[in-house]
Amino acid sequence: MARFDLTKYATVAERLQMLETAYSDYRIITEDYSTESDRAKGVWRVKATLYLSLDDQLADAPKATGHAFEVDGQPGANTTSALENAETSAIGRCLSIASSAWTGNKDDAAKSLASREEMEKVARGPKPTPANETPVGFFDDLAAETTIEGLMNMWESAKVNGYADFVRQAITDRKREIEGQK
């Protein structure tokens, strides 16, 4: 359940409609500035720049910019369209920052910088990753371990294999026991 009221946030489409009403000659330029390294990791970074008129664009006088990033394969639109989602988010943030220019309310941007789409993503939250089972005998091996190096190896194995948090906590507790014996 969201800890905030989603109806208090404008959608990107609603922000675009307000802009169109106030400035029919506006220009929004988007730029994918993801590096090759970003793309190799499935990360998309986009910048949106708003000009309220052609004259602003010709004078290189943007009224606002917005940035966003998304990761391929995350829940929602990112399962298939992370780049497009990042572009929409960047536009939404850009419009929020500039909204006081066409609404006359200087507090608008500060109250709702995020778009409703961004807040819906927050409301969904990360999908919990199920923990993997520890191998038979793991806790017996843990109780028998007497060196910090051995515990560090067990910790790394627990992390790499996705064991539950309580497993890593048991390793930490055993480390404290060993350190207390010295």
Beta carbons within 10 angstroms of residue 88's beta carbon: 24
Instruction: State pLDDT tens for residues 14-60.
Output: 888 888 888 999 999 999 999 888 888 888 999 999 999 999 999 99
Between strands 27-32 and 43-51, the pairing is antiparallel
The pLDDT of residue 88 is above 50? yes
pTM, rounded to two decimals: 0.59
Taking the CA atoms of 37, 122, 95 and 17 in sequence, report the sign of the dihedral they define: positive
Q: What DSSP string describes 58-112?
A: HTT--SEEEEEEEETT-SGGGGT-HHHHHHHHHHHHHHHHHHHHHH--TTHHHH-
pLDDT number for residue 27: 94
Per-domain residue ranges of the chain: 6-124, 138-181
Q: What share of the chain is helix, strand, coil (3-state, %, to 5)?
A: 55, 15, 30
Instruction: State pLDDT tens for residues 120-164.
Output: 666 666 655 566 777 888 888 989 999 989 988 888 888 888 887
